[in-house]
Structure 1
Amino acid sequence: MSRAALLVLADGRFPAGGHAHSGGAEAAVRAGRVTGAADLEEFCRGRLHTTGLVSAALAAAAALGADPAELDAAADARTPSPALRTTARKLGRQLTRAARATWPSAELDALARAFPKGAHQPVVLGLAARAAGLGPGDAAYCAAYEGVSGPATAVVRLLSLDPFDATRVLARLAPEVDRVVDLSVAAAGRGVDALPSAAAPLMEIAAEAHAAWAVRLFAS
């Protein structure tokens, strides 16, 4: 296993399309729920322990070799918002393209054939980690960190927030990312039915409203 592969997969410059998405931060900024660094930290904390936990567990399960079709159905069941399901599949399709080009894999090829419009992004992430020779913990770290780093980066652009403040938020959340990863890997080891289903109803509702905006900076 190459630890450098983890850096490649987790790098924000990896061409998986995440830069075009705010992880719900744009809607939160518009609604006045995120106005600065303190609000950003609370937003990211809530996201980490809900959708971040679910995504990390799905990615860990995929890296362990669970059936991708079962995992994709599990992801669908845990994503009530049609807008978020569409976003997850778009990101999954882009990640599949990037991962197949970077780490050629029969499993990724099979996933692309089975889900031509894209599987859920965390499922693809887990298979990409597996193709790169990484383990379930690595996949979970990628998913959990992405869940907080995406909104943090977006808020820098949305509010002209000092990047140092945004980075400090991520550093403060690091111990909680560790705990979420531990929970995710443990759940993934117990099978698909044991995966967490933590919900973020306000984020789901906001995603539906955001999808209907005529003008927006981010795709989600």
Structure 2
Amino acid sequence: MTTVDATALASLLVLADGRFPAGGHAHSGGAEAAVAAGRIRDAADLEEFCRGRLHTAGLTAAALAAAAAAGADPLLLDEAADARTPSPALRATARRLGRQLMRAARAAWPSPALDALAAARPRGAHQPVVLGVTARAAGLGAGAAAYAAGYEAIGGPATAVVRLLGLDPFEATGVLARLAPELDAVASRAAVAGERVVEEGADVLPAASAPLLDVMAEVHGGWAVRLFAS
């Protein structure tokens, strides 16, 4: 299992806290479109949705974050994130979230690396890349960054479905608890891949795909009325 340096654990808690003002509360991670399509109707459906998201988009995001935290070139990682995000709607969302996270990160952990990335990507870099650079600025390593990105991949939809369906918050939390062992496995795999990027280049990053998430994101982006931005 991937380990997290106990001396930096408090920073990880701050970074992964849902109250950290990174803009994630405005996004459902595809859950709103899935609810509207009847694919999420209860806690069991939510669990399957989050499991699928964790092992696809979540794995890719976690590896990107891990690579950035390990010191890989964030601009190259941003290009790799573009290549792994076929949906224009999801690319726009990732950059919007990256821009918001950057604002919060620079206030919390001022860093020349964050300043340089903000200057190079004024419209926002992909959120997992910003997350990884933020983790590095906070003294966290690849494993911690992978955990933060992986947890976000499932925590966002779980929180959103509580609002979308009126799902019992205790049931949503139970879903996250049951997925914890799988999050461990995904974070470990992502951390190893992220650390390899430093020596071997971005081609070793996973490119796990979830075509239905891409399709639903494009449909959701065209809605005139929606509760979440994505």
Structures share a fold, TM > 0.5? yes
**In the TM superposition, what is the alpha-carbon distance from 1:193 to its structure 2 partner?**
1.1
Question: Does residue 1:211 correspond to 2:217, yes or no?
Answer: no
Question: Does residue 1:148 correspond to 2:158, yes or no?
Answer: no
Q: Distance in 2 between matches of 1:3 and 1:68?
A: 23
SS in 2 for 1:189: helix
Q: Distance in 2 between matches of 1:3 and 1:174?
A: 18
- Residue 142 of structure 2 contacts residue 195 of structure 2 at CA under 8 Å; is this kept in 1? no
- Residue 29 of structure 2 contacts residue 157 of structure 2 at CA under 8 Å; is this kept in 1? yes
Give the aligned partner of residue 6 of structure 1: 12
**In the TM superposition, what is the alpha-carbon distance from 1:156 to its structure 2 partner?**
0.2
Q: What are the residue-to-residue correspondences of 1:51-66 with 2, within 5 Å?
A: 51-66=57-72
SS in 2 for 1:144: helix
Q: What are the residue-to-residue correspondences of 1:1-220 with 2, within 5 Å?
A: 1-191=7-197, 192-220=202-230
- Residue 66 of structure 2 contacts residue 191 of structure 2 at CA under 8 Å; is this kept in 1? yes
SS in 1 for 2:25: helix
SS in 2 for 1:157: helix
Structure 1 residue identity aligned to 2:135: A
Q: Distance in 1 between matches of 2:194 and 2:156?
A: 24
TM-score by length of 2: 0.95
Structure 2 residue identity aligned to 1:97: R
Give the aligned partner of residue 3 of structure 2: none
Give unmatched runs, 5+ long, in structure 1.
none
Give the aligned partner of residue 4 of structure 2: none
**In the TM superposition, what is the alpha-carbon distance from 1:75 to its structure 2 partner?**
0.2
What is the CA RMSD across the aligned residues, in angstroms? 0.5
Misfit runs of 4+, over 3 Å: none
Deviations 1:13-40 (A, max 9, x none): 0000000000000000000000000000
Structure 1 residue identity aligned to 2:17: D
SS in 1 for 2:179: helix
Q: Distance in 2 between matches of 1:139 and 1:34?
A: 28
Q: Distance in 1 between matches of 2:8 and 2:79?
A: 31
Structure 2 residue identity aligned to 1:169: V
Q: Distance in 2 between matches of 1:189 and 1:126?
A: 12
Structure 2 residue identity aligned to 1:130: R
**In the TM superposition, what is the alpha-carbon distance from 1:2 to its structure 2 partner?**
2.3
Give unmatched runs, 5+ long, in structure 2.
1-6
Amino-acid identity (%): 74
Count residues in correspondence: 220
Q: Distance in 2 between matches of 1:91 and 1:124?
A: 9
TM-score by length of 1: 0.99
Q: Distance in 1 between matches of 2:67 and 2:27?
A: 24
